[in-house]
Amino acid sequence: MLFCGLASFQLDSNANAIKSIYESLYSDIKEKATDKWETDHQMVVYEINIQSQAFSDLTRKYESKYLQILNAAIKKWGTDKRHNNDVMKIDNWSMSKIHADWQMVLYEYNNQTLAANSY
């Protein structure tokens, strides 16, 4: 039981992978988490983990036929207005340069793709 409690205070495997592969993305996620939660370090770690998980899930789920949906989600939930223009090509590297609330981008992408496939 102690192990489960300690795990919530550490970066998970997705966050650690992003930290080592996409340094600028990790830095952006960490900065937003720190701004949001200030000195609540447990919540900072939690926020980093959920944002990293969302980014990882999105890169796994993304299909090029849904580029417009992804662009709309990034525009809606992006936190850096330099990325207001449509992204012409999406890959993990180009997505890692975008500043966004990845949990909300994933939520929007999932909902819109589900709706697009329902009619």
Residue 51 included in any domain: yes
The pLDDT confidence band at residue 81, using thresholds 50, 70 and 90, is low
pLDDT at 1: 46
Q: What is the Cα 109 distance to its own chain's centre?
A: 12
Residue 5 included in any domain: no
At residue 4, does pLDDT exceed 70?
Answer: no
Task: Please tell me the total count of domains within the chain.
Answer: 1
Pull the structure tokens for residue 64: 């090029």
Q: Determine the Cα–Cα distance for residues 95 and 68; give it in Å rounded to an integer.
A: 14
What's the mean pLDDT in 97-117? 96
Cα dihedral: 77, 49, 107, 88 (round 10): 60
- How does pLDDT run across 28-65, given as a tens digit for each residue? 999 999 999 999 999 999 999 999 999 999 999 999 89
Residue 72 included in any domain: yes
Residue 53 included in any domain: yes
Residue 6 included in any domain: no
Residue 2 included in any domain: no
Q: Is residue 27 within 8 Å of residue 61, measured between CB atoms?
A: no
Expressed as residue numbers, the domain containing 110 is 12-116
Q: Determine the Cα–Cα distance for residues 99 and 83; give it in Å rounded to an integer.
A: 8
Residue 49 included in any domain: yes
Under DSSP, is residue 57 helix (H, G, I), strand (E, B) or coil?
helix
Residue 88 included in any domain: yes
